[in-house]
Amino acid sequence: MTRNATLESALDDAKRDYTQRNPASLALHRRAAETMPGGNTRTVLYADPFPLGFARGEGARLWDVDGHEYTDLLGEFTAGVAGHSHPAIRRAVVAALEGGISLGGHNTYEPRFAELVRARFPAMQRLRFTNSGTEANLLALSLAVAATGRSKIMVFAGGYHGSVFVFGGGATINVPFDYVVAPYNDTAATLTLIAENAADLAAVILEPMLGGGGCIPADHEFLRALRAATTENGILLILDEVMTSRLAPHGLGAEMGVVPDLMTLGKYVGGGMSFGAFGGRPDLLDRFDPSLPGALPHAGTFNNNVLTMAAGIAALTEVYPAEATRPLSAYGNRLRARLNGLAEAARVPICFSGVGSLLAVHMLTTPPRTPAEAAAGNATARDLFFFDAVRAGFWLAKRGMMALSLPLTEADADAFADMVREFIETRGPLLTAAA
Residue 434: what pLDDT? 87
Predicted confidence band of residue 2 (pLDDT cuts 50, 70, 90): very low
> How do residues 87-146 score in pLDDT, each as one tens digit?
999 999 999 999 988 889 999 999 999 999 999 999 999 999 999 999 999 999 999 999
Residue 3: what pLDDT? 45
**How many structural domains is the chain composed of?**
2
169 and 244 in a single domain? The answer is yes
> How do residues 216-238 score in pLDDT, each as one tens digit?
999 999 999 999 999 999 999 99
Neighbours of 55 (CB within 10 A): 12
Question: 319, 353, 378: which is the final residue of a domain?
Answer: 319
Residue 435: what pLDDT? 82
> How do residues 307-332 score in pLDDT, each as one tens digit?
999 999 999 999 999 999 999 999 99
Distance CA 100, CA 113 (A): 17
Residue 260: what pLDDT? 98
268 and 388 in a single domain? The answer is no
Closest by CA to 78, choosing from 219, 205, 240, 206, is 240
| Vertex 328 angle, CA 324 and 332, to 5° | 165
Its pTM stands at: 0.97
262 and 334 in a single domain? The answer is no
Range of the domain at 137: 87-319
372 and 313 in a single domain? The answer is no
Instruction: Show Cβ contacts of residue 231 under 8 Å, excluding neighbours closer than 6 positions.
Output: 237
C-alpha 125, offset from chain centre: 24
16 and 147 in a single domain? The answer is no
For the chain, the average pLDDT equals 96
215 and 267 in a single domain? The answer is yes
Question: 319, 336, 352: which is the final residue of a domain?
Answer: 319
Give domain status of residue 427, yes or no. Answer: yes
Whether the CB-CB separation of 344 and 114 falls below 8 Å is answered with no
Question: Alpha carbon of 94 to those of 105, 269, 306, 312, 375: distances in Å?
Answer: 20, 18, 10, 13, 44
69 and 159 in a single domain? The answer is no
Whether the CB-CB separation of 158 and 370 falls below 8 Å is answered with yes
3-state secondary structure of 384: helix
Predicted confidence band of residue 170 (pLDDT cuts 50, 70, 90): confident
Distance CA 145, CA 153 (A): 8
Strand-by-strand arrangement of the 351-355 sheet: 351-355, 358-362, 401-403
Question: Alpha carbon of 223 to those of 166, 168, 228, 277, 293: distances in Å?
Answer: 21, 21, 9, 22, 36
Predicted confidence band of residue 1 (pLDDT cuts 50, 70, 90): very low
Predicted confidence band of residue 5 (pLDDT cuts 50, 70, 90): confident
Question: 300, 319, 338: which is the final residue of a domain?
Answer: 319
189: domain CATH number is 3.40.640.10
355: domain CATH number is 3.90.1150.10
Does the pLDDT value for residue 391 go beyond 70?
yes
Give, for 237, the enclosing helix (H) or strand (E).
strand 236-240
> How do residues 23-33 score in pLDDT, each as one tens digit?
999 999 999 99
Poorest-confidence range of 150-159, 163-172, 200-209, 384-393? 163-172
Give domain status of residue 212, yes or no. Answer: yes
395 and 351 in a single domain? The answer is yes
Give, for 279, the enclosing helix (H) or strand (E).
strand 276-280
214 and 103 in a single domain? The answer is yes
CA end-to-end distance (rounded Å), the chain:
21
Percent pLDDT > 90 in the chain is 96
Give domain status of residue 1, yes or no. Answer: no
Point out the residues that are catalytic. 160, 240, 267
Predicted confidence band of residue 337 (pLDDT cuts 50, 70, 90): very high
> How do residues 182-196 score in pLDDT, each as one tens digit?
999 999 999 999 999
Whether the CB-CB separation of 164 and 171 falls below 8 Å is answered with no
Give domain status of residue 2, yes or no. Answer: no
12 and 125 in a single domain? The answer is no
3-state secondary structure of 362: strand
C-alpha 229, offset from chain centre: 27
Closest by CA to 128, choosing from 116, 142, 114, is 114
347 and 394 in a single domain? The answer is yes
